[in-house]
C-alpha cells in the first residue's frame, strides 16, 4: 500500500509539510484547490504551485481529494453539461502533473454531517460526533427558518455563507428520488470515465457520510449492494471506489472487511479510521486501534493485505489530542499515531507472509 496524508495547503492547515515528512512511511500528500468553487475549471498555474511545493519535500501529489461535483450535475439540470466539460478539462490538467486518483462524492447538499466537532472523550481528547436523534428530529423547513432569522447560525462544518444557500438547495431537491440520483450519477460517469481512462486517472467515489438519508435528502452510496450497483453503472477499471471505513462503518450492518475483500480490485483509495457506535445510532470517531472503537481495523488491514492491495491509503480523521488546535478531525498527532498503527499491522502481515513460521 502507498501511505499518503491529507494536507489543506499553506495558510489553510496547522500541519506543515516539514512535520508530515517526519511521519514514517508517508510518500505523498492528498490535496485539492479548496477555494475553487464546485464546477469551475482548475487553473494550471495553481496546480503547478502545489506540485512545486510538494516536490521540494519529496512528496508525490498522486491523489486529489476532492474535485467537487456541482449540484446541477447531481440534480440533472440542463446546465450540467457546462460543469461536466469543466470537470473534464480539470482531469486533463491534473494528469499533466502525474495525478493518478481523483476522490469525489455524489452526496446532495451535505458532503458530511456531524453534530459536534469536539465531543469530549473519557481520555480527555475530543473528536467528531454524530447524534442521530438530533438530525432525525430536525425538520429541514425549521432549519431554513432558523437560518433566515439568525444569519450567524452555524452547523458543524458549515459556515454561515454556505448555510444561506440551503433554502434553495432543499427546494431544488424536494422531488429528487434515489432513482433520480442514480440516473444523474450514471449520466455523469458516462461522460467522465472515458476522459479519466484517456488520462490514466482513476475516479474514486467516496461513500456517503453517514451512510443514510439526512434531512430527507436522497443518499445512495450507503451499503454493499449499492456499491455493486455503482460499479456496474459504468463497468470500467477507471470507475472505482474510495472505501472509507469510518463513513460506511457508522452503520453496524456494513461489514467493512467483507467489502474490502469483495471490491479490493476496484478500490483506488482507502480511508481507514475507527468509530464507536452506540445502540441508539450515535457514533463518535475514536483512535484507530481496534479495541477503541466498533470496527476491526486489524481485519480491515488484513483484508487489504490478502487482496494484494497496492493503492493509496490515508489515515482518515483523528482525535484532537495533547491540546492541539487544528481543523476538526485533521490534527497532526492522532493521524500520525494512526499511520504507525496501520504500518504496524501491515508490517506484521508482511513478515508472516514471507515467513509463516516466524509468528
pLDDT tens for residues 117-155?
A: 899 999 999 999 999 998 887 776 676 666 666 665 555
* pLDDT mean across residues, the chain: 93
Does residue 42 carry a pLDDT above 80? yes
Beta bridge partners of 102: 64, 203
Across residues 47-69, what is the average pLDDT?
97
Higher pLDDT among residues 198 and 166, named by residue: 198
Sequence-ordered strand ranges (E) for 36-81? 60-65
Give the span between the Cα atoms of 229 and 97, in whole angstroms.
32
Q: Among 154, 172, 190, where does a domain finish?
A: 172
Contacts for 54 with CB less than 8 Å, ≥ 6 apart: 17, 28, 29, 31, 60, 61
Instruction: Give the single-character DSSP code of 67.
Output: -
User: Is there a domain that residue 122 lies in?
Assistant: no
**pLDDT for the residue 106:** 97
d(CA 9, CA 16): 8
Cα–Cα distance between 290 and 311 in angstroms, integer? 22
Are 34 and 165 in a shared domain?
A: no
Per-residue pLDDT, 147: 62
Residues 164 and 234 in one domain: no
Identify each DSSP E strand in the chain by its residue range: 2-6, 26-31, 60-65, 101-104, 116-120, 126-130, 202-205, 239-244, 267-272, 275-277, 283-285, 312-315
- Three-state SS for 161? helix
CATH assignment of the domain containing 348: 3.20.20.150
Residues 203 and 156 in one domain: no
Which grid coordinates belong to 132? Answer: 442521530
More confident residue, 157 or 357: 357
In a domain? residue 218 = yes
Range of the domain at 153: 139-172
Residue 247: how many other CB atoms lie within 10 Å: 27
Comparing 160-174, 222-236, 249-263, which segment has the lowest mean pLDDT?
160-174
204 and 164, same domain (yes or no): no
Q: What percent of the chain is predicted at pLDDT more than 90?
A: 81
Amino acid at each position: 500500500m502507498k501511505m499518503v496524508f491529507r494536507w489543506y495547503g499553506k495558510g489553510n492547515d496547522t500541519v506543515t509539510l516539514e512535520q508530515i515528512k517526519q511521519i514514517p512511511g508517508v510518500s505523498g500528500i492528498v490535496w485539492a484547490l479548496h477555494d475553487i468553487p464546485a464546477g469551475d475549471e482548475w487553473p494550471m498555474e495553481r496546480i503547478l504551485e502545489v506540485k512545486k511545493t510538494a516536490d521540494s519535500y519529496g512528496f508525490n501529489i498522486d491523489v486529489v481529494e476532492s474535485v467537487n461535483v456541482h449540484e446541477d450535475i447531481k440534480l440533472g439540470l440542463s446546465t450540467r453539461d457546462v460543469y461536466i466539460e469543466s470537470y473534464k478539462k480539470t482531469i486533463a490538467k491534473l494528469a499533466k502533473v502525474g495525478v493518478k486518483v481523483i476522490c469525489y462524492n455524489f452526496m446532495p447538499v451535505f458532503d458530511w454531517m456531524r453534530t459536534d466537532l469536539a465531543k469530549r472523550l473519557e481520555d480527555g481528547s475530543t473528536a467528531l460526533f454524530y447524534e442521530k436523534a438530533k438530525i432525525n428530529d430536525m425538520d429541514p423547513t425549521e432549519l431554513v427558518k432558523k437560518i433566515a432569522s439568525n444569519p450567524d447560525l452555524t452547523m458543524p462544518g458549515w459556515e454561515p455563507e454556505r448555510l444561506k444557500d440551503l433554502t434553495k438547495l432543499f427546494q431544488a431537491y424536494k422531488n429528487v428520488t434515489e432513482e433520480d440520483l442514480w440516473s444523474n450519477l450514471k449520466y455523469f460517469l458516462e461522460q467522465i470515465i472515458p476522459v479519466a481512462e484517456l488520462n490514466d486517472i482513476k475516479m474514486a467515489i467516496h461513500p456517503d457520510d453517514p451512510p443514510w438519508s439526512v434531512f430527507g435528502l436522497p443518499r445512495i452510496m450507503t451499503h454493499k449492494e449499492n456499491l455493486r450497483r455503482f460499479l456496474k453503472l459504468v463497468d470500467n477499471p477507471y470507475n472505482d471506489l474510495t472505501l472509507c471505513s469510518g463513513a460506511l462503518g457508522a452503520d453496524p450492518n456494513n461489514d467493512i472487511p467483507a467489502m474490502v475483500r469483495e471490491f479490493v480490485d476496484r478500490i483506488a483509495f482507502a480511508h481507514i479510521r475507527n468509530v464507536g457506535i452506540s445502540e441508539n445510532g450515535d457514533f463518535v470517531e475514536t483512535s484507530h486501534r481496534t479495541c477503541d472503537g466498533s470496527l476491526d481495523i486489524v481485519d480491515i488491514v488484513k483484508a487489504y493485505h490478502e487482496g494484494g492491495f497496492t493503492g493509496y491509503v490515508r489515515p482518515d480523521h483523528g482525535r484532537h489530542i495533547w491540546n492541539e488546535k487544528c481543523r476538526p478531525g485533521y490534527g497532526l498527532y492522532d493521524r500520525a499515531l494512526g499511520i504507525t498503527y496501520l504500518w504496524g499491522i501491515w508490517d506484521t502481515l508482511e513478515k508472516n507472509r514471507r515467513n509463516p513460521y516466524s509468528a
